[in-house]
C-alpha cells in the first residue's frame, strides 16, 4: 500500500516572525519533491501570517505545536483547538516528548487533548517514544504500546485515520546515543501491528508513522528507505532551509 510521504518540521521555540517568514520564503522557492507533504509546526505567533503565505502552496501545511484539552475557560496563556480551527490551521502536535517531560503531560491528559483536537476538526500528529532507561530494560515496545492504548485507542476507525503517529526515541535525541535505521523500522513495524490489532489490517497498513529521532540530511535517505517509515518529524534541521529541503528530497522514488 502506498502511503503519504511526510516531512514535518518542528521549529519549537525558535525564530522571530521575520525569521519564520524568511525560512518559509526559502522553502516555497526551492525545488522540492512534489509528492511529499511538508508540515511546519511553527510558534503560535507565526500561524496567521504564515498561513497567508502558504495558503495556495499545495502540499505545504501548518501545524500548531500544542493545544489545550478544553475549548475555552480560565486557562491563562493556553490555546484551544477551536481557536486553531477558526484560523484554519489543519494540524496540531500532541504528546511531544518535551511536553511530556517539562510540562508533565501524562497519557490521560493527552487522551483529552486528542479528543478535543479531533472534535474541533484538527488532524493530530501524536508523539510517542521511550527514554534511555526504558530502552536499556528492553521494554520499549511495551512502553509505546501503553502510550497508544491510553491516549489513542479509544478512538474509532474513522477518527484514527486523522492521526499521524510520530515515534520519538528520546534516548537518541541529544544524548550521544544513536538510533539505527533498523531500530526505527523495528518500532514503526511494531506500532503498525498494534494499530492493525486494535482496528484492522487495512487501517494499520494505511496509517502514517513518521520518525522523530534527530533526522538530518545525512541520515534521512537511509531512515526513509525503511518500509514502515513514512517520513520524519524533524527538529533542529528544519530551521536550516537548505538542510530541510535536502530532507524533503530524501525519499526513495516511487516504484
Please check whether residue 233 is in contact with residue 127, taking contact to mean a CB–CB distance below 8 angstroms. yes
Distance, CA of 52 to CA of 2 (rounded, Å): 31
pLDDT tens for 112-164 read 999 999 999 999 999 999 999 999 999 999 999 999 999 999 999 999 999 99
The pLDDT-based confidence of 1 (bands split at 50, 70, 90) is low
Distance, CA of 98 to CA of 129 (rounded, Å): 11
Q: Which domains does the chain have, with CATH numbers?
A: 5-248 (3.20.20.70)
Region 91-98: mean pLDDT is: 98
The one catalytic residue in 68, 69, 96, 188 is 96
Question: CA 12, 172, 212, 66 torsion: positive or negative?
Answer: negative
The reported pTM is 0.97
Residue 96 among the catalytic residues: yes
Please check whether residue 63 is in contact with residue 94, taking contact to mean a CB–CB distance below 8 angstroms. no
Q: Around Cβ 44, how many Cβ atoms within 10 Å?
A: 14
pLDDT tens for 194-225 read 999 999 999 999 999 999 988 999 999 999 99
Residue 168 among the catalytic residues: yes
The one catalytic residue in 98, 105, 130, 168 is 168
Amino acid at each position: 500500500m502506498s502511503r503519504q510521504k511526510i516531512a514535518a518540521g518542528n521549529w519549537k521555540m525558535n525564530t522571530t516572525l521575520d525569521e519564520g517568514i524568511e525560512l518559509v520564503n526559502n522553502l516555497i522557492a526551492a525545488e522540492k519533491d512534489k509528492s511529499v507533504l511538508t508540515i511546519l509546526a511553527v510558534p503560535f505567533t507565526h500561524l496567521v501570517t504564515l498561513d497567508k503565505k502558504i495558503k495556495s502552496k499545495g502540499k505545504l501545511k501548518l501545524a500548531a505545536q500544542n493545544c489545550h484539552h478544553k475549548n475555552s475557560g480560565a486557562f491563562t496563556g493556553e490555546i484551544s483547538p477551536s481557536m486553531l480551527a477558526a484560523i484554519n490551521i489543519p494540524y496540531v502536535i500532541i504528546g511531544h516528548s518535551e511536553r511530556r517531560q517539562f510540562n508533565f503531560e501524562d497519557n490521560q491528559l493527552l487522551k483529552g487533548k486528542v479528543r478535543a483536537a479531533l472534535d474541533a476538526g484538527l488532524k493530530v500528529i501524536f508523539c510517542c517514544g521511550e527514554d534511555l532507561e526504558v530502552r536499556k530494560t528492553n521494554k520499549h515496545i511495551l512502553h509505546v504500546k501503553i502510550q497508544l492504548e491510553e491516549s489513542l485507542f479509544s478512538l474509532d476507525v474513522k477518527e484514527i485515520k486523522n492521526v499521524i503517529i510520530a515515534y520519538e526515541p528520546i534516548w537518541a535525541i541529544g544524548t550521544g546515543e544513536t538510533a539505527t535505521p533498523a531500530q526505527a523500522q523495528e518500532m514503526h513495524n511494531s506500532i503498525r501491528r498494534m494499530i492493525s490489532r486494535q482496528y484492522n489490517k487495512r487501517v494499520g497498513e494505511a496509517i502514517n508513522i513518521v520518525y522523530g529521532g534527530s533526522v538530518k540530511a545525512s541520515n534521512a535517505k537511509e531512515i526513509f528507505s525503511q518500509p514502515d517509515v513514512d517520513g520524519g518529524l524533524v527538529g533542529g534541521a528544519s530551521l536550516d532551509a537548505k538542510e530541510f529541503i535536502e530532507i524533503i528530497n530524501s525519499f526513495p522514488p516511487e516504484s
